[in-house]
Every structure is written in structure tokens, then in C-alpha cells.
């Protein structure tokens, strides 16, 4: 069964550093998403991406965040200057179309900012 692959599984970074989280969506999917989950809290929507541009973003997705699809396979989330409160699980997801098909999520990257 096709999978969404995320790397690394765990990343530790110092406050103020830039991090890039990487995702390889399912190959025939057209929509891409990033979500995050702070420990013990809800899964929160960050951004959706379609046709090489952001289609929707949440209030969380401020200027320190950016997304990119640098080639035909990768989808990345960049956090420019990490804060302690950015520590969370970050999940990438992809879908063929938005509705009615569901999203396929990756297994996540645990980001720890120290």
C-alpha cells in the first residue's frame, strides 16, 4: 500500500535555528498538507498546497513557516527561526483530490527545540 514518507523521524534543534522537515507524498496525489500536534493536544491544521501554491493556511502558519515542493517528489516544511513552542509532532499528508477521498498521513517528525 502506498505510503507518505517523512524524514527525519526525530529532529532536535537549538532555539533560533532553521529546520526543514521533509515529506515524500504518494506519487499520484495532487494535494499536500502539513499538520502539527503538540504533546497532549489536538492535531492542528497548518497549511494545504496545490498546484505549487498554498491553497489554505491557518493562523499558526505565520511568516516563520514556509512550504515548498522543490522537485516532483518532495514536499518540505521550513521553520526559519525555531522557538521552544514549535516542539511538536509534524505530520505530512497527501490526497488525490480533497473530497470525498480522505488524506493519507505520514508517521510524523518529532521536532524538539532546546
Partner 1 sequence: DAKTTQPPSMDCAEGRAANLPCNHSTISGNEYVYWYRQIHSQGPQYIIHGLKNNETNEMASLIITEDRKSSTLILPHATLRDTAVYYCIATGNQFYFGTGTSLTVIP
Positions touching partner 1 (CB under 8 A) are 4, 33, 35, 37, 39, 42-45, 48, 56, 89, 91, 93, 98-100, 102-108, 110
- HEC readout, 13-57: ECCCCCEEEEEECCCCCCEEEEEEECCCCCEEEEEEEECCEEEEE
Smallest distance, Å, CB 104 to partner 1? 7
* Residue pair 60/48 in contact by the 8 Å Cβ criterion: no
Nearer to partner 1 (CB atom), residue 17 or residue 55: 55
Nearer to partner 1 (CB atom), residue 69 or residue 110: 110
Amino acid at each position: 500500500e502506498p505510503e507518505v514518507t517523512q524524514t527525519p523521524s526525530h529532529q532536535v534543534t537549538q532555539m533560533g535555528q532553521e529546520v526543514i522537515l521533509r515529506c515524500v507524498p504518494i506519487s499520484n496525489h495532487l494535494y499536500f498538507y502539513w499538520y502539527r500536534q503538540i504533546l497532549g493536544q489536538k492535531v492542528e491544521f497548518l497549511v494545504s498546497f496545490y498546484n505549487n501554491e498554498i491553497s489554505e493556511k491557518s493562523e499558526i502558519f505565520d511568516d516563520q513557516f514556509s512550504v515548498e515542493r522543490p522537485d516532483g517528489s518532495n514536499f518540505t516544511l521550513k521553520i526559519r527561526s525555531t522557538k521552544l513552542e514549535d516542539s511538536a509532532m509534524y505530520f505530512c499528508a497527501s490526497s488525490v483530490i480533497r473530497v470525498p477521498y480522505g488524506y493519507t498521513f505520514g508517521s510524523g517528525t518529532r521536532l524538539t527545540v532546546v
